[in-house]
Structure formats: structure tokens, C-alpha cells
Amino acid sequence: MSTCNIHSIESLAARDGDGVRCAVFFCGCPLRCVYCHNPDTWHQSGTEMTAEKLANKLVRYKPYFKTDGGVTFSGGEPLLHASYINEVASILKEKDVNYMLDTSGCVELTDDVKTALQNAQGILLDLKFYDAEKFQKYCKGDFAKLQKFIEYCKEIGVRITLRTVIVPGINDSEEEIAKYAEVAKYINPVKYELLPFHTMGFFKYKELGIENPLEHLKALSPERKDELQKYLDGLMAGK
């Protein structure tokens, strides 16, 4: 039974997938997004746990999951630990507990990653940017990996919920939203949710001694987020 460093576990999370879920946050991330609110998950730290110990801990929450809830593996980037996740998932399956993956999609499509995707109830795909230039500039990411990831998800038919963080001055215009909508129409998600950039993670940069490239920014207002969400929904509906 393998082990893995777990950053934290959030019980009864209501915004991490279908229904009431228990969210597991893994350590390690291949990206360095300028607007990241969890820089403390970038490196391997946290509490070491065997797959069996984690699975048994998660199963205790089953009475709260009811019909559509379950576990969500998040991070960091959970699919950096796909082999471990598959071990945990095999135990969860025996107890009739489903799981979802909250991922950037910027990973190698190894056999373990493919297995984790095939067995997932669905994925929450953080669509950061829609082209290679912006993805590299703001996230230091390999856009080709994301493209291959999306193609594989479409191939196997896994349910995709898209999420995009909207950052003032970077991607908060109607023009930018229209470009996201075009990509989303190709992906065909069950839902596309815009998330407002916030400053609640700024203190982590100071604690870790890491430069915060957006320390001058203010949070996106709820009103502006709602305006852009309405605009996106209209584009997705063909209006």
C-alpha cells in the first residue's frame, strides 16, 4: 500500500463537485499561476498517509454524501499522484463511494492518469487560458499537455465541469469571455462556472517568503463576476 503527502482534508465541501463532498488536497503542482491562492500546495509537504488510511477516513463521511455526493481529489494537482488515487478509489468503490477530480489537466497521460479519469464520477477542469501564449505567460504551463488531456476526456466521455478564475486586468473583459466560450463549446461541459479572483490567499505568500506578482490587485467584485457569468451563459446558449 503506497503513501502520499496530503496537504489537508475539507469535510462537507459544498463547492467541489456534485452534492456534499469531502475534498482531499494533495501537495505538488506543475504550474505556477500568478493568481494562485494556494502556493502552500506547490511543494511536497503535509501529512503522509497510506492509501488505506485515507480511504478509511473518507468512508466515515459516507452518511453525509447521500445520493449524489462523494469525494473530490484536489490540490495542488491530484493527478500527479494518480497511482495513489487509484488505490484509494478501489477501496472507496467497495464502499460505494464515488470520486471526482479537480484538475488543471496539465499532466502526462500515463496509464494511471487514464485509469483515474475513466473511473471518476466527473472532473472539475480548471480552464485557465485558451491559448499557449497566455498559458505560458500566466501559468508557466505546457498547453500541449492540456490539449491532449481534453481530447482524451472527450474520447472517454467523462463528465466535465469547467471553471475559470476571472482576474481583473487579465481576463475580465467580454472579449476574453467570448474566447473562453468558443473553447467551451468544443469541450461541451455539463456546466461552466466563473470564479472571482480573491485576495484571501495573499497572506500565504508572505508566510512562505514568496513574491506575489498580483499583490497590487483587488478582488473581482461579485457584481462583475455575475455580469460576466450571465454573458458567458448567453454565449453558451447561442444567444
**pLDDT value at residue 239:** 58
pTM confidence score: 0.94
From residue 176, how far is each of 131, 173, 180 by CA, in Å?
11, 5, 6
Q: What are phi and psi of 38, to 5 degrees?
A: -130, 55
Q: Is 186 helix (H, G, I), strand (E, B) or coil?
A: helix
DSSP symbols for 57-76: HHHTTHHHHTTT-EEEEESS
**Residue 237 DSSP symbol:** T
Question: H or E segment at 42?
Answer: none
Q: What is the CATH number of the domain that holds 94?
A: 3.20.20.70
Q: How confident is the model at residue 46 (pLDDT cuts 50, 70, 90)?
A: confident
Q: Which residue has the higher pLDDT, 91 or 14?
A: 91
Q: Does any domain span residue 175? A: no
pLDDT(1) > 80? no
**Residue 125 DSSP symbol:** E
pLDDT(238) > 90? no
pLDDT(13) > 80? no
pLDDT(51) > 70? yes
**pLDDT value at residue 43:** 80
Q: How confident is the model at residue 193 (pLDDT cuts 50, 70, 90)?
A: very high
**pLDDT value at residue 90:** 98
Residues 6+ apart with CB under 8 A from 44: 5, 27, 28
Q: What percent of the chain has pLDDT over 90?
A: 84
Q: Mean of the per-residue pLDDT values for the chain?
A: 94
Q: Does any domain span residue 166? A: no
- Residue 101, domain extent: 3-159+198-218
Rounded-to-5 percentages of helix, strand, coil across the chain:
40, 20, 40
Q: How confident is the model at residue 203 (pLDDT cuts 50, 70, 90)?
A: confident
Q: Average of pLDDT values for 192-198? A: 96
Q: Does any domain span residue 20? A: yes
Q: Average of pLDDT values for 50-72? A: 94
Question: H or E segment at 52?
Answer: helix 51-59
Q: How confident is the model at residue 18 (pLDDT cuts 50, 70, 90)?
A: confident
Count of the separate structural domains present in the chain: 1
pLDDT(111) > 90? yes
Q: Does any domain span residue 172? A: no
Q: Which residue has the higher pLDDT, 170 or 16?
A: 170
Q: Average of pLDDT values for 189-202? A: 94
pLDDT(136) > 70? yes
Q: Does any domain span residue 105? A: yes
